[in-house]
Structures are given as C-alpha cells and as structure tokens.
Structure 1
C-alpha cells in the first residue's frame, strides 16, 4: 500500500468514525479533509479511470469501515452510562453548529419567497419521515422479499446523508428510528442484518451522486436551504429528556462543546476554500 492510500485510509477512519455522531456530516468532514471532490468524482466518473478510482475508493471504504466500528463501540458504551443524556445534548449542539455553515453556503442575500419556501420543504421532509411506521427499516427485522425491498429503500434514503454535505447520516438514521440499532450492530460486529441497508445505500450513492453534484453546482441556494430546513426539522427528534441538577450543567456544557466543535470545523473548511481561491 503506497503513501497516498495510507493517507486515504487514515482520512477514511476519521470520516467513518465521525459519521456515527448525529450532526457531523460525512460530506462536510470530507470537505474539511480535502477529499470530498475526489470522492464524488471517483464515484460519478468511475469508468474514466477505473483502476485508480477503485484503489482510492477501496482504501477509503476500508478506513471508513474501521472508523465506524471503533467509534460505534465507544458511543454504544456511553449510551449505557450516565453520560447518555449529555451525549445526546452534544449531538444536539453538533447539529446546531453546522447551521451557520449551511446558511453561508446558501448565500442568502435577502429574505424572499425562496428563503422561506425551501427550508419549509426540508422541514416537511422530516415530518414525512416521522410519519413512517416505527421500526420500518429496522435491520434484521426479516429477510423476506418485502422486508428486503423495504431495507433497500431505507438504504437509498440513507445514501442522501452519505453524499450531501451538511446532512449527517447518523441524523438520517435518527429520523428513521434506527440509529441505536445500527450503532449496536456495528459495535458488536453483527454485519449480516446490515447488508440489505448497505446494498441500498451503495445503490443510492451510485444513483444520486451525479444528481446531487449537479444540484449543488447549478442550484446551490435552493439545495442548501432545503438542507437547512432538514436540519431545523431534525432538532426536536434529537432533543432528549430535560435533565435536572448537575446533569443539566453537564448537558449544557456538552451541547456547547458539540456546537463549538462543528462550528470550528466549518470555519476551518471556509478558510481552506478561501486559500484555494487565492492560490488560483
């Protein structure tokens, strides 16, 4: 394995691990680490240079898989401790911390119909997801033809969170009501129940990458405003019980830490883009 692939594996470990945290977008993290464009191009234009793209994607997927298992084990452990509620507040703060970046990417100059309508579409998407029967996409619920099709459909939905910057795949899993189940299966290395969802996600990535790439390129403001609405709509879903006493203090500190971490990473990405423009 050459040096480039080793670096890709290490970046994959970090991106895959942080994807298990609701509020942390894998796409945004890939942007921060400078490999988002390469990932999108490698998928959408795979057959232009299949050998090179396959090598890159294999290294990334290997790293991402290792990162997801390691981080999911740690998060699963925290869910069983008194850190459970502060951890959920950290997730809440992380989602809120990504809002300024998405708003900036949308480039809203004045309040008009689109600035209100597009976020409303994102919020409506969350409402529609909540109307789905609880446990519909639960991994391991069955392997009959109907259940497999449902799992594949769930994977297609999850793919949007994997591809779009700003939307966290773990946040998407929360919306579908399967976050803790997925984390539990990953941490215990129970991979078989996750295979149908995984196939759906891979198919969704292949189907949606080019479409989403064009949307961001040709209609960035509507796209990012819809993402913003989705993020706002997901906040109540992430909100845990209201703690009391010293737990409230820890929870508020955790929320502030989550906000600061995501806001700081988004700011770093913005600075990287400015430096790239200056070099051009």
Structure 2
C-alpha cells in the first residue's frame, strides 16, 4: 500500500469518525459512499479463530496479513482522531445550542435516509414491509426510550456493542443508538475528559460487538440485500421522532454531580414550545440548520462518487 493511499484511508476514517460523533449520520454510510465499505466488512470478518490462533502464538506477521492490518489501522486511526477532537465540541453545542444542533441532525437524517434508500434495487412487497417495520420499530423505541439509563459497567459495554454495530451499518448512526440508550452525552463527556475507565469498557464492548455482528451483517446483505436496506431506511425515518428540535420536558433527574437533566420528553410544535418555555423557538434558524444538514449529506454523496474511483491500495 502506498503512503498516499495510507493518507487517503486515514482521511476516509476521519470522515467516518466525524459522522459517528453526530447522531444522524452513519460512519457506515460514509464508508459506503467513499468506496471502502466492502473491504471494511470483510476485514472485520477476518477476526476469526485462525486470526486469534496467529495472535496468541505470536505469529504477528500472519495475523496482520490475515486481518488486512494496514487497511484497518489506517481507517481506525482516522476514526479515533475525529472522535477525540470533536467530542468536546458536540457536548458544548448540545448543551448550549440544542435547537440549532437538533435541527441540523434532523436534516442529516432525512438526507441520509434518502441516500441509503437508493441502494434498494427493486421495491417489492417484502422491501415495503421491511421499510414500514423499520419506521414503526424506530418510532416506538424513540417514544418509549427514557433519557436516563444505568451508568453501570455492563450497560456501558452493552452500549458499546450495540452502537458499534450501528457504526458499520449504512444507514443507522452509532451516535444515534447511544441517544436511544441514553448514553450519548455520557460517552461524549468521557471521551472529552479522557475518563479512561469508561472509554475502555465501551471499547471492549464495541470490539466484541463488531466482530460478532459483522458476520451476520455480511450474510444479510448477501442474501437479503433489498429487505435489509429497506429496514435500515425505515429505521432512520422513524428515528426522526428522537431528534425533533422542540421538546417539552415531562420529568427530570439529578446526576451524581447535582446537575438536573431531562428524563422524559414530548415533542411539541414551535408555537407550543414558545408558550411552554417562554423562549424563542428560533423557527427560521432551525429551518436553515435543517437545510444545511441536508445539503451536507448531498455534498458528501457527490464527493463519495469521486472517491469511489480512487484506488485504496497498490495491489
């Protein structure tokens, strides 16, 4: 692999990492449109018993070749750079400018769902049913999911396992899954403040989740491609309920630091938000931010079409 291709893979990894910090854009979508998705899935799948045997018998050269190590190391390095550099910014924006940032996410998800739906080669009855099932499931999950969940070690690991699976799906955002699990701000805060214990628990869960799930995902996409993509599209559409910018807080909880946070929320219209809170709903500003999010995904898609034609390795 040439050095220029290493750099290109790191940049693609950076784009994936930036996407995974945002609840609405999938790192898998970025991998998909930048032309590295297939190689990424197959490289992750290569973590099998043979690879483990090479690792534990210290046959590191064979292990590295087996897992396509140069490729994975470049992509993972780019992902890590973005996540650690953007976590603090995302935490600040969500705490201080929630309507702006949720509106931006809303536009991102609409555009991403349209982009992913294009991968359904033919809409048949099964695909339509999968789409509707995805919409219904995501809506119910977002409607029932509380804003607060346990901070215990096992739930942090579980969150990592589930979120990382979403990261490699072209359509579902890992950050969005963390939102559903009530762990987005918790993990972003841990990354921003380098709380190593929490980060390690999350990474251990993520490693276990992605290695096991990659085999199942590969099988689904090979054998039920259209239904799988339709389900993911539906999940994204249904998830818009979670990122609606204007919310009424129904109940709150106080964390271990004495800070009050929303526990249960309900979506309201901008006019209802103004009357309930006495605050400016920033309606037109929200429309602009939503459009900006939509146009960002459209621009990424155009760039991705060009990147697909760029070779990744000197094979």
Please state how far the C-alpha of 1:34 moved relative to its aligned partner.
2.5
Gaps of 5+ in 1: none
2:63 to 39, 50, 55: 50
Contact 2:24–2:105 (CA<8 Å) still a contact in 1?
Answer: yes
The residue that corresponds to 1:116 in the other structure is 128
The residue that corresponds to 1:205 in the other structure is 210
Contact 2:19–2:27 (CA<8 Å) still a contact in 1?
Answer: yes
TM-score, normalised via structure 2 length: 0.74
2:152 to 136, 142, 160: 142
Richer in strand (by share) = 2
Aligned residues: 265
How far apart are the structure 1 equivalents of 2:292 and 2:10?
27
Please state how far the C-alpha of 1:190 moved relative to its aligned partner.
1.9
Decide which structure has the larger Cα Rg and report it.
2
Contact 1:175–1:234 (CA<8 Å) still a contact in 2?
Answer: no
Contact 1:97–1:259 (CA<8 Å) still a contact in 2?
Answer: yes
2:298 paired with 1:263: yes
Gaps of 5+ in 2: 55-61, 247-269, 275-279
2:236 to 231, 238, 241: 231
CA-based RMSD: 2.8
Contact 1:72–1:187 (CA<8 Å) still a contact in 2?
Answer: yes
The residue that corresponds to 2:184 in the other structure is 179
2:162 paired with 1:157: yes
TM-score, normalised via structure 1 length: 0.83
The within-5 A match list for 1:67-146 is 67-81=82-96, 83-109=97-123, 113-126=125-138, 127-128=140-141, 131=144, 134-136=147-149, 138=150, 141-143=151-153
Richer in helix (by share) = 1
How far apart are the structure 2 equivalents of 1:16 and 1:67?
5
1:14-52 Cα offsets, whole Å, 9 max, x none, are: 321221112211011112333222211211124496324
How far apart are the structure 1 equivalents of 2:86 and 2:284?
25
The residue that corresponds to 2:38 in the other structure is 37
2:7 paired with 1:6: yes
How far apart are the structure 1 equivalents of 2:11 and 2:71?
12
Please state how far the C-alpha of 1:130 moved relative to its aligned partner.
5.3
1:182-224 Cα offsets, whole Å, 9 max, x none, are: 2222122223213223212211110111211121122111101
2:285 paired with 1:250: yes
* Gap change, CA 1:236 and 1:131, over 3 Å in 2: closer
2:227 paired with 1:222: yes
* Gap change, CA 1:73 and 1:151, over 3 Å in 2: closer
How far apart are the structure 1 equivalents of 2:234 and 2:38?
24
How far apart are the structure 1 equivalents of 2:74 and 2:109?
28
* Gap change, CA 1:133 and 1:86, over 3 Å in 2: closer
1:115-156 Cα offsets, whole Å, 9 max, x none, are: 4321232234322475456533x5xx234xxxx2x3333223
The residue that corresponds to 2:57 in the other structure is none
